[in-house]
Structure 1
């Protein structure tokens, strides 16, 4: 039976805001998380991206705070990236529209002057990235004593980005008596350790098995030799599929820029935007807003931006590069198939990336369907530098799995030694013997 928001103990202001936002039925994470949060319990939520987890903690937070009070924040939400922090603020403003609650978002990338002025006016909720929060706290602009609730969102991403020292410092300066909420898409060892330090007798909510992509997302994989073939395949997909709204994920800023330049030549600057850490804050905000409002239909992005893009109706996600942090795969493809809509996730994989694909399949406990390259896609041999880079990467992967592995270079060097020459002779003789057996088989007796 469907659970509607009227079933929760929300006041009329929140229910009106929820109705205005077009929400009707609560998602599984909302059904399970809202009651214990309203009861004041510590909660640990494991939920894939796109399941409505932001609303799962924002709605009960607004209900608990009710109205503006005092000068200092009573709730603190920590997020790993500025994009995600801005997204959370958007949810708060949407659901608190019929209240007088005050929210401020703190993140780096621009001067703190305006953020400090907003804090001085009085605030009820702070949404912040770890670094900027600590900077403003140490400068004396934030009082932590009145804090009643602390939320860590996308905890796994914060661990991946190396924020553990800042998180530990934040835990030292907030009041001991408080409600704690932790949300994560995956349950890594680091997140497990953090939960042990952070939560007290938490209610564990796991709406889907860990790191399982949304069932509404179709996943396929193409194996390609190198980057030029990836570009040719990207062109083919855009020419032969109805792509309403697309995010192309790249591993590095350089790759993102190269793909962006290719797409701009194919379409125009009005249809494509690029998003990575080298872009200025205003450029990044404008890119996301243009994509949201459908002014542009293609967004090229790196993983830094992946967690903060909460955009509906994304029909396709293309992994131009396979992510090295395998948990990022779940977050990438979670940008499509949101809110029960169908989406398609397409991954391009070169020989050096197959190692990570195998690890991703273990993580998500699924096998990704491998499709043959379409006949019309021109397959190009990678250039020497790219082949060398792939060989080095494969060597590094083999060393990870087997510390005794010496590497392809070592094997080549060995061939020039006396031992290598003898081994080469033995191998050559073995090939000759095999050939003789093949061509001079004894006749069968009649």
Structure 2
């Protein structure tokens, strides 16, 4: 099928032509007709299947011009990078339309976003936290919202956005169409669907856990973190096919360690992206990676999830993720848009159980290749690779002689309960009794 066969208007088709897009992906094709019918949708699709266009195309087709310039479409995403990405795609699709898109997210002075919203918009892309902040301040008018999209829903719940989402559900008009997209469906997600959605149509493609056919998966047994650094150094320096690479690590500290090591060893064109980096740093790193200024980006899952990074040649699992489904998200960054890609997994002995979990999810074994003999094997272990628990050493405090636990009270502090004769005391003092007589 071609986009011309869908019920799209000329302005959108012209924009798609400018983007050199001709054929919809399976999820784009399936979502379009259901969305146009007005039904709620729950789309389950892996990374790289074209979810952003899947919901933007029908929503833009159904949009009607309004002089009020109040948002009719609200798209919620978990990170500022995803806000910027969706805004960019929406603007490219509406080049030939009188249509305004605004993106809002945390980490920016709210006054900047308030000023943008005062000018009006047709589509609002937001992170849940910033939307609730702006709505509480009265900067967002929600009465015209007719379409709600929640993208990367499972990631939102992982990040703890459920309270904000429920608040938004209650705040925006109840009469609306809901479109939810997620890579996985959890129990929490199903609960929210049951409460806030109206008999959503579930669209799933491809089956969760199945690796994409266009990805060549390689795996190597590597003893430890330092040896992995030696291995990736050799690959980046010598493998000419590694033209645009994503290296996934477990956390921010490991990302910084890997970047510093590679930089000191003379590996150029490499940068890092994680949540400790500033907004501008992260945007610039992605921009430089997309433009080809740098060819390797070291990242953590929490930041890189959902980003539409094009023409990635290699994905490196420097360490396997604890959640096997994240492995599918990672390798799905390559082998996109009818292109082939390669994933490389470096598996240490402490990651054997994680490897088994990935294989069980995929329903197939990872093919283990022989690690090149010229890779220098290191015996040095990082602190996080040592399984022995770190025992706290308790240093006893200096003893102070404070005497026995019981000691006699001082004389002035001794108290004895004695029954007093107040009348006798007054008679001695004043010479007569001050006892009041009861009148007859």
> If the TM-score is normalised by the length of the shorter chain, which range does it land in?
0.7 to 0.9
List per-residue Cα deviations over 1:41-89 (Å, max 9, x = no partner). Answer: 1111111111111101111111111445413211111111111111111
Map 1:22-421 → 2, pairs under 5 A: 22-67=20-65, 69-241=67-239, 242-267=241-266, 271-383=269-381, 385-389=383-387
| Alpha carbons of structure 1 residues 305 and 385: separation in structure 2 relative to 1, 3 Å | closer
- Say which SS state the counterpart of residue 337 (structure 2) adopts: helix
In the aligned structure 2, how far is the partner of 1:165 from the partner of 1:137? 15
Kindly indicate whether the alpha-carbon contact (under 8 Å) linking 2:77 and 2:152 is maintained by their aligned counterparts in 1. Answer: yes
- What is the match of residue 19 of structure 2? 21
Q: Is the 1:315–1:337 Cα contact (8 Å) retained in structure 2?
A: yes
In the TM superposition, what is the alpha-carbon distance from 1:240 to its structure 2 partner?
4.0
Q: CA deviation at 1:371?
A: 1.9
Higher Rg: 2
Residues 297 and 67 of structure 1: CA distance in aligned 2, closer, same or farther (over 3 Å): farther
Contact 2:71 2:121 in 1 (8 A): yes
Helix, strand or coil: the match of 1:321? coil
Q: CA deviation at 1:365?
A: 2.8
Q: What's the CA shift string for 1:267-293, capped at 9, x where partnerless? A: 465x11211111111111111011111
C-alpha contact 2:152 2:306 (8 A) present in aligned 1: no
Q: Equivalents in 2 of 1:308, 1:278: separation in Å?
A: 18
Which runs of 5 or more residues in structure 2 are unaligned?
A: 392-440
For residue 274 of structure 1, give the secondary structure of its aligned residue in structure 2.
strand
The alpha carbon displacement at 1:211 in A equals 3.1
Moved more, 174-183 or 329-338: 329-338
Summarize deviations over 1:118-169 as a string: whole Å, max 9, x none.
0011011111111111111111111222110111101111122121121111
**TM-score with structure 1 setting the length:** 0.83
Query: 8 Å contact 2:233–2:267 — kept in the other structure?
Result: no
Tell me the TM-score normalized by structure 2: 0.85
Q: CA distance change for structure 1 residues 357 and 213 in 2, over 3 Å: closer, same or farther?
A: same
C-alpha separation in 1, matches of 2:264 and 2:385? 27
Give the 3 Å change call, closer, same or farther, for CA 387–53 of structure 1 in structure 2: closer
Preserved CA contact (<8 Å) 1:48 1:214: no
SS at match of 1:347: strand
CA drift of 1:392 comes to 5.8
Q: Residues of 1 paired with 2:116 and 2:72: CA distance?
A: 15
Q: Distance in 2 between matches of 1:100 and 1:230?
A: 52
Q: Is the Cα contact below 8 Å between 2:237 and 2:267 reproduced in 1? A: no
SS, match of residue 345 in structure 1? strand
**Following TM superposition, by how much is the alpha carbon of 1:325 offset from its aligned partner in structure 2, in angstroms?**
3.3
Q: Distance in 2 between matches of 1:359 and 1:26?
A: 33
Distance across 1 between alignment mates of 2:159 and 2:180: 17
Distance 2:28 2:370 in 1: 40
Q: C-alpha root-mean-square deviation of aligned residues, in Å?
A: 1.9
Flag the 1:265–1:308 CA change in 2: closer, same or farther, 3 A.
Answer: farther
Task: Structure 1: give runs of 5+ residues left out of the alignment.
Answer: 394-408, 410-446
- The 1-side partners of 2:316 and 2:289 are apart by 16
Inter-CA distance 162–94: structure 2 relative to 1 (3 Å threshold) = same
**CA-to-partner distance for each residue in 1:179-232, whole Å, 9 max, x for gaps?**
000111122223222322232111111121113232211222222221111101
Whole-Å separation in 2 of the counterparts to 1:66 and 1:220: 49
Q: Deviations over 1:358-412 (max 9, x none)?
A: 22222233322222221111222243744424x569xxxxxxxxxxxxxxx9xxx
Between the aligned partners of 2:111 and 2:267, the Cα distance in structure 1 is 37
Q: 1:68 touches 1:100 (CA, 8 Å); kept in 2?
A: no
Larger mean CA deviation between 120-129 and 190-199 belongs to: 190-199
Name the CA distance, whole Å, in 2 between partners of 1:66 and 1:382: 63
